[in-house]
Amino acid sequence: MQRDERGVYASKLQSEEPNYGDTIVALSTPPGTSGLAILRLSGPACRSVAQTHLGRAALELRHVYYGAFRTRPPAGRPEAASGEILDRLNFVFFQGPASSTGEDVLELYPHGNMLLVDRLLKTLLDFPGVRLAGPGEFTRRAFEGGKIDLLQAEAVGQLIHAQTVEALRNAQRIAAGGLSIPLKELRDSLVDLSVRLELDVDFSEEEADPDYASWAPRLEGVRAALIKLAAGFEKGRNLARSPRVVILGAPNAGKSSLINALVEEDRLLVSDIPGTTRDYVEVTLRLPRGLVQLVDTAGLGRPVDGLDELAMERTRRQWEQADVRVWVQDGTAAPGATLEGEFALKLLTKSDLPGFASADGFVAVSNRTRAGLQTFRERLDALVFQDRGVGEDIVLTTERQFRAVEAARERVDAALQGMRGKPAIEILAFEIREAAGHLQELLGEISTDEILGKIFSGFCIGK
């Protein structure tokens, strides 16, 4: 059976149609060497697995056990009392529906050696009714089991992949229901109005004209809430990506050396020969409030050939795409060419060398001694993330969420416009019912396999 890059036996998953009555298993920690790993199972075979491989016929709920994980006894050898011990490990059993997925869940905590984890996985996959989980299948089962709604399920993926503190906080609030609760209130308000309108349709011969004056303020309140949510989407979308910090300067100003010093690794080629960097290179830097993409660029100056001119043109394009621009200048040399425009930060490098001259508005740094780098980090962190916070607000982060909110708002707008012209009640009821339906789609109360498949396919296996 062919292994994939995760060290698990993915071909078994690829060769079988998913059966959601099966028990699924996956590694929930990243592949690699660690003190412990986590293997999770969810489904009806969890108790049988515990009895067969861990020797536990009875399991107390949420009780941490320690014991030997054994292979199954060899076939045709009834005299073999037990199989081979693969590891001695801790494990916990959670009985459905009081579990993360709503099903029986068994978690194993073996030592984090991938040779060992592979052997454990292979043994579990050979157990009847157990298969490898698909991407995000644990979270999908939690959604389909009513443990979480679709907004909370999406937030689980965002919690895993958040690259900034603000993105992490926003995902935590959504996962805790901070966005679902107000949206359900809006949905309920729309459903209530729809029901009242439909009652008026049914009893139109017995009732007076509809009381539009009392309905309009409620719809206006729903509309204002939807507009506020949609307005925050641009900021929410920015939360999902790392800011681009473009490093610009003359040849041999020390741009590549600066990046190597910041990430504490020789990631970029450094040379005393001008023009060593011919194209832009991206390197990830971790700052206190999140990750940023440092972009090293070709030096700006008088081009020496066509290739050099092309490299400088690419540098100018990176300048235009930057979230933050940093100008780097050799503190021991005369100022060189620059680009017109504002720079968030300006650095003078080589502060440890003779002939260095400080200047107003510049941060002095030494890539060799690391002097001044901490000051640069702090200023960069403040600059990069100063406009990316959302405070206590909760913002939409996916195109699906934004489109659903906008679609609901458009239907509410149509209903409000209709009230001004006093149309047929059936039309008003339809518009409001459609608006409520879009919010139900947003929450996952109405969903299709295609939508669910698209959402959960971006999750890692094991979550």
Q: Are 120 and 86 in contact (CB under 8 A)?
A: yes
Rounded distance, CA 32 to CA 396, Å? 34
Handedness of CA 131, 132, 135, 138 (dihedral sign): positive
pLDDT of the residue at 446:
79
Name the β-bridge partners of 90: 66, 109
Q: Are 344 and 323 in contact (CB under 8 A)?
A: no
Q: Residues for the chain: how many in total?
A: 463
Tokens 């729903």, residue located: 222
Output the pTM of the full model.
0.77
pLDDT of the residue at 339:
53
Q: Which domains does the chain have, with CATH numbers?
A: 10-143 (3.30.1360.120), 152-236+395-444 (1.20.120.430), 244-385 (3.40.50.300)
- The burial of 254, by beta-carbon neighbours within 10 Å (0-12 exposed, 13-18 middle, 19 or more buried), is given as buried
State the CB neighbour count (10 A cutoff) for residue 418: 18
pLDDT of the residue at 19:
54
Q: Which residues of the chain have pLDDT under 50?
A: 1-17, 79-80, 208, 268-273, 275, 304-305
Name the β-bridge partners of 329: 348
